[in-house]
């Protein structure tokens, strides 16, 4: 009897070490980064809508769990009936779409409509928390469904533009079979699990890598099959969609090893895949001075490259 009890204790200890403790650490670390809500911030240095020659129309639509997402349709004129195309914008982690007003303004002034919205748990949108990395393609899927069913927007070709978390979303959402003409992924990653490991390693050290399987299980519980719809699969699921991938070698947030750009040889119809790999552009890429976090000045050469890509894609 004593031997049986000893074996049972040993098994319990092993299970505790292999299953319970690592999963508990994973859940605590995950929730520390995603069980939060992001408010719209208005800093004195930030670009304000009132400073721009833009019009905007409020919109709202429901996402995967019936939470309401909110944003605007931006235009350089009141009349939105004669624009080149519709750009749907997906913002980055810990941000809102208004953090990118300079870029939104750039595209709008070049006669594009821009649909900007806040993800779940961000800014104007519903949601008590961000939930997790896999939420951004789900929210983008909802935004595209809204555009496709909107009388004023559905006539336009759809272009996607995303940064970081949004850069992942614009590729992963292609798994949902929307008719997307082109995407621009700026500093985007391919799948949530690898990004979680990299982000966790930057915060807590390399030992966090052993928690990768537990992170996947936890995300699978939270998001179901959506967690498996990564960016590489998405791009390959849309073989006629033009793709521009931008990434800098010195990106301190998403390293090249996890970037969509590094997988360029894995994509179908490679002639449609366009890549620009920078050396000293940090995580933002489009910022003129990436070392100055307070600067809002855009690198117009980069913005022109993006615009040229869109112009060629919609011909």
Distance CA 138, CA 164 (A): 15
Domain layout of the chain by residue ranges: 52-191+230-313
Enter the DSSP assignment of 99: G
Q: Is domain 52-191+230-313 in CATH 1.10.540.10, yes or no?
A: no
What is the SS3 assignment for 8? helix
CB atoms within 10 A of CB 221: 10
If you ran DSSP here, which 8-state letter would residue 268 be given? S
First to last CA, the chain: 79
pLDDT for 296 equals 81
CA–CA dist 251, 189 (Å, integer): 12
pLDDT of residue 14: 66
Phi-psi region of 28 (alpha: psi -120 to 50; beta: other; left: phi over 0): alpha
**The tokens 């979680």 sit on which residue?**
196
Among all chains, which residue has been given the structure tokens 């850069």? 167
Alpha helices in 18-118 (DSSP H): 21-34, 101-109
pLDDT tens for the chain, residues 1 to 315: 566 776 766 676 666 566 677 788 888 888 888 999 999 877 777 889 999 999 999 999 999 999 999 999 999 999 999 999 999 999 999 999 999 999 999 999 999 999 999 999 999 999 999 999 999 999 999 999 999 999 999 999 999 999 999 999 999 999 998 999 999 999 999 988 788 777 777 767 676 677 788 888 888 999 998 888 899 999 999 999 999 999 999 999 999 989 999 998 899 999 999 999 999 999 999 999 887 766 789 999 999 999 999 999 999
Q: Dump the DSSP string for 292-313.
A: -TT---B-HHHHHHHHHHHHHH
Distance CA 199, CA 137 (A): 19
Between CA 157 and CA 93, with CA 240 as vertex, the angle to 5 degrees is 70
Burial (CB count within 10 angstroms: exposed 0-12, middle 13-18, buried 19+), residue 17: exposed
Strand partners, 278: 248
Burial class (CB in 10 A: 0-12, 13-18, 19+), 80: middle
Tokens 């991938």 belong to residue: 245
pLDDT at position 289 is: 87
Give residue for tokens 């555009």.
Answer: 147
Residues 6+ apart with CB under 8 A from 18: none
* Angle subtended at Cα 40 by Cα 36 and Cα 41, rounded to the nearest 5 degrees: 110
> What element of type H or E holds 203?
helix 192-204
Task: Say what the pLDDT of residue 191 is.
Answer: 85
């Amino acid at each position: 009897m004593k031997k049986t009890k000893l074996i049972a204790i040993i098994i319990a200890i092993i299970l505790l070490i292999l299953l319970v403790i690592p999963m508990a650490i994973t859940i605590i670390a995950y929730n520390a980064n995603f069980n939060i809500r992001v408010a719209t911030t208005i800093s004195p240095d930030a670009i304000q809508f009132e400073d721009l020659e833009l019009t905007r129309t409020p919109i709202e639509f429901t996402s995967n769990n019936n939470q309401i997402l909110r944003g605007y349709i931006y235009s350089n004129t009141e009349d939105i009936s004669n624009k080149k195309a519709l750009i749907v914008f997906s913002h980055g982690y810990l941000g809102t779409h208004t953090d990118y007003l300079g870029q939104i303004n750039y595209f709008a002034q070049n006669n594009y409509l821009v649909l900007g919205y806040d993800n779940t748990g961000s800014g104007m949108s519903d949601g008590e928390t961000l939930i997790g990395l896999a939420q951004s393609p789900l929210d983008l899927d909802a935004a595209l469904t809204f555009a496709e069913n909107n009388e004023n927007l559905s006539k336009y070709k759809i272009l996607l533009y995303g940064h970081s978390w949004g850069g992942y979303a614009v590729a992963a959402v292609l798994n949902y079979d929307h008719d997307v003409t082109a995407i621009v992924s700026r500093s985007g990653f391919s799948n949530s699990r690898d990004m979680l490991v990299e982000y966790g390693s930057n915060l807590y050290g390399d030992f966090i890598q052993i928690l990768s399987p537990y992170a996947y299980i936890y995300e699978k519980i939270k998001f179901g099959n959506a967690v498996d719809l990564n960016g590489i699969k998405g791009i390959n699921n849309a073989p006629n969609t033009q793709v521009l991938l931008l990434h800098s070698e010195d990106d301190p947030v998403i390293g090249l090893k996890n970037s969509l750009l590094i997988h360029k040889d894995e994509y179908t119809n490679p002639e449609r895949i366009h890549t620009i790999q920078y050396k000293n552009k940090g995580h933002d890429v489009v910022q003129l001075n990436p070392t100055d976090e307070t600067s809002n000045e855009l690198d117009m050469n980069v913005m022109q490259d993006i615009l040229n890509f869109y112009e060629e894609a919609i011909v």
